[in-house]
Amino acid sequence: MDSRDELLELLRENARYSTTELARMADMDEDAVEETIADLEAAGALRGYQAVVDWNGLDRERVRATVELNVTLDRETSYGDIADRIAKFPEVTTLRLMSGDYDFLMEVEGDSMSEVSWFISEKVAPIPEITQTVTHYVMDSYKESGIEFGDGDEDDRLSISP
């Protein structure tokens, strides 16, 4: 693994590592770390730094849903055109073109189930190219972006006595 890839893995692990920490862990000097990160940002390969939030640990409700989208394309409309339109909505946190039984996988967030439902039915479903939406509400999260959630007890299995 080259130093650039190692830096990317370290940043994915913890984007709050200091330049000094990154340099030590990647066996690089600090100037090289800063230059590599600046190059990755300028090239658009490194697009942002985000916190992973366990909403269950807060007093505020946050509703998330995964939505399967099927679309019909015509000669003037591409998957990219549809994706550009959907991605502009602030409620959409993730949008991926998929293989398989549906075309896009969209993840959305809102303050309530009715807000998320309204967004899907009133903003997404009416898009002319969208032929079907299937919504799956997230009931609980156990791992997000490589970070495990939970109470810290690593083994929740029940003991079985013979």
**34-79: pLDDT as tens digits:** 999 999 999 999 888 888 887 777 877 789 999 999 999 999 999 9
Whether residues 39 and 66 fall in one domain: no
At residue 144, the pLDDT reads 86
Q: At what angle do helices 30-42 and 3-13 cross, to 10 degrees?
A: 80
At residue 25, the pLDDT reads 93
Instruction: Please identify every stretch of the chain with a pLDDT value under 50, giving residue numbers as ranges.
Output: none
At residue 161, the pLDDT reads 65
At residue 151, the pLDDT reads 65
Number of compact structural domains in the chain: 2
The CA–CA distances, whole Å, from 20 to 6, 17, 104, 126, 128 equal 15, 8, 41, 50, 51
CATH code: domain of residue 34:
1.10.10
Q: Containing domain of residue 8, as a range?
A: 3-43
At residue 50, the pLDDT reads 82
CA gap 28, 83 in Å, rounded: 39
Q: Can you read off the two tokens belonging to residue 76?
A: 């003037």
Q: How far from each other are the two terminal CA atoms of the chain, in whole angstroms?
A: 48
At residue 158, the pLDDT reads 62
At residue 157, the pLDDT reads 59
Whether residues 79 and 115 fall in one domain: yes
If you ran DSSP here, which 8-state letter would residue 60 be given? S
